[in-house]
A = this chain, B = another copy of it.
Amino acid sequence: MLTTGLSEPAREDLCADAVVWASQHGLVYGAGRADLPAALVHAPLAVFPVAYPKASYVKAQAAMPIFNLLIDRISRDSAYLQQTLAPAAEFDDFTANLLRIHQETLSLRETRADKQLTLGLHRSDYMLDELSNTLLQVELNTIASSFGCLSTLMTQLHHYILQRAGCSDQEVQRLPHNQVTADLTSAMAAAVKAFKVNDAVMVMVVQPNDNNSYDQQWLQTVLWEKHRVRTLRCTLTQIAKEAELHESSGRLTIWGRTVAVAYLRAGYAPEHYPTAVEWQGRKMLEQSNAALCPSVAYQLTGAKKIQQDLAAGNTLERFLSADEAKLMRKCFAGLWSLDNLEDPETKKVLKEVREHPERFVLKPQREGGGNNLYGQAILDRLKDPKGLAAFILMQRIRPPINRCLMIREGSSFEVDSLSELGIFGAFLSQGSEVLINKQAGHLVRTKAASSDEGGVAAGFAVLDSPSLQD
C-alpha cells in the first residue's frame, strides 16, 4: 500500500534508513563468510508493513492458548502418539528415533510426573485463504520456533519507517504491539525459577555456525539483562560427551552448572543427528529433570501426521471441549493421510489432485522445512506409491497477493508477494498445574509470490509485520 505514491528518491532513502536501523539495532544475521565469521548483515526485510485484516489477527491470537493446551494434552497421551505416528515411522528414521526415545523414557517420566516442568514455546503459522476468506493453519511448530526476537525488532523498525515516511499517528498505531522477546524470556525465567536450584542455567541446544544465531542470542541477552539467568550454548554432541546425568535425581549438569531448562534450537531435522552420539545426547535430555523446550512428546505432537489426524476425524474432541474443538477446526486446512491408498476418502481426494494439482501441496512429515512438492511434481511423486505414507497431502491455501518492497543484503526490489502470519505461544506447566498459558506475539514472513518455499533463512522470504485493517 505504502509503496505506491512515494517518489523514487524517497523510496531509496527509506530503504537506506531500514538497512541502517536494522544494522544498528541487531536485526541481523550472520553473514556466513568463512573468511570473516564475525561478519553480520541486516536480516532480509520488507520496508513497509503488510495490510492484514484485524479480525483474522485477533482470531489467531485468541486461538493460541487453546493450541498450547491442546499440545500439552496430546503430549501426555503416549499411546495416541505411538499409535498415530507408527505408520510414518516405517518410512522415516527420524520419527522412528523420536518414538523410540519417547517409549524408552516413558516410565522414567511417569515417576516424576508431579514435579516435572514442561515449557512450550510454540508458533502457529497461518495464511489467509482468499477463496474461503478464512485464516488457515499452515503449520504448528512445537520445536525451535524461530524469528521471535527479530520479529520484535521488525515491529520497531516499521514504527521507525512509518514515522520517517511521514505517516499519520493513526497509521503508525495500526502496527500491533509485539512482545515476543519479552514473553519468551519471561517464560524461560519462570521455568528456571520454578526449578528451584540456585544458579541453575538454561542450556540452548544449537547447531554449530547457525547464521540465524542473533535471533537466539537476543533471548540470551534479555534473559540475562532482565532476569539474571545465564545461558550456555551447546550442541547435541556436547551434551552427549560433556554433560553428566545423575540417574536417580535426573539432574543434568554441564561444565559445572545445573541445567534448569533445555531450550532446543536444533534437533528438529535429521541432519542434526549425523551419528548415534547426537541421539544419545537427545535421550540424555529426555531422561533429565530439566524443563524441556520441547520434550520429545511435544516435538512428536507437532508432527504433520498429528495435524492431519486432528483435522480428519473426531480426535480433536477427545482433547478439547466441543466449543474449543469447533474454534480449532475452523483454522484447519484440508489435510489427508496417504497411509492407505485404498481408503475411499483417500481415493476421492487423489482423484481431485490429478485433476487440479494446483489446489494441493505434498508435504513430508518431518520438521525443518523444504522439499514441499507442488503441481506436476506432486503428480510425478504419486506415480510411485512406495513411501507415500511419509507424506501428508494438504489443501493449498491461496493467499492475497500484495506488492512488497523487499531488501536483501542491502539491495531493494519490489515484487508480488504473499504473507504468512505466525502467532507465538508460551506455556509452562508443573505436573498438571498450568503456570503460564498465553499468546506471545507475532511474526509475519512475506515471500515472493513466484517462490514456492518459505524459510527466511534460506533467502526466499523476508521478515515483515502486519498493519491491521478494520
Residues of chain A having any CB pair with chain B under 8 Å: 9, 19-21, 23-26, 28, 31, 33, 36-42, 160, 164, 214, 217-218, 220-221, 224-225, 255, 409-410
Find out whether the CB atom of B410 lies under 8 angstroms from the CB atom of A217: no
Residue of B nearest to A35 (CB): B33
A42 cross-chain contacts in B, Cβ below 8 A: 38
Residue of B nearest to A411 (CB): B38
**CA A58 – CA B39 in complex, angstroms?**
37
Residue of B nearest to A42 (CB): B38
Find out whether the CB atom of A39 lies under 8 angstroms from the CB atom of B38: no
A39 cross-chain contacts in B, Cβ below 8 A: 31, 33, 36, 39-41
Find out whether the CB atom of A23 lies under 8 angstroms from the CB atom of B40: yes
**CA A31 – CA B41 in complex, angstroms?**
9
Find out whether the CB atom of B37 lies under 8 angstroms from the CB atom of A40: no
Find out whether the CB atom of A41 lies under 8 angstroms from the CB atom of B38: yes
Find out whether the CB atom of A221 lies under 8 angstroms from the CB atom of B24: yes
Find out whether the CB atom of B214 lies under 8 angstroms from the CB atom of A24: yes
A160 cross-chain contacts in B, Cβ below 8 A: 225
Residue of B nearest to A19 (CB): B38
Taking the closest CB of chain B, its distance from the CB of A176, in whole angstroms, is 21
Our pick among B41, B217, B220 for the contact of A36 (Cβ within 8 Å) is: B41
Find out whether the CB atom of A36 lies under 8 angstroms from the CB atom of B26: no
Our pick among B36, B214, B225 for the contact of A23 (Cβ within 8 Å) is: B214
Taking the closest CB of chain B, its distance from the CB of A96, in whole angstroms, is 36
Find out whether the CB atom of A24 lies under 8 angstroms from the CB atom of B410: no
Residue of B nearest to A164 (CB): B224
Q: 29 pairs across A/B with beta carbons < 8 Å?
A: A19-B38, A20-B217, A20-B220, A20-B221, A21-B221, A23-B38, A23-B214, A24-B28, A24-B217, A24-B218, A24-B221, A25-B26, A26-B26, A31-B31, A31-B36, A31-B39, A33-B33, A36-B39, A36-B41, A36-B409, A36-B410, A37-B410, A38-B42, A38-B410, A39-B39, A39-B40, A40-B40, A160-B225, A164-B224
**CA A42 – CA B39 in complex, angstroms?**
8
A19 cross-chain contacts in B, Cβ below 8 A: 38
Most buried by B among A38, A160, A217, A409: A38
Taking the closest CB of chain B, its distance from the CB of A439, in whole angstroms, is 26
Most buried by B among A24, A41, A164, A255: A24
Taking the closest CB of chain B, its distance from the CB of A360, in whole angstroms, is 38
Most buried by B among A31, A39, A42, A214: A39
Residue of B nearest to A38 (CB): B410
Find out whether the CB atom of B26 lies under 8 angstroms from the CB atom of A23: yes
A164 cross-chain contacts in B, Cβ below 8 A: 224
A410 cross-chain contacts in B, Cβ below 8 A: 36-38
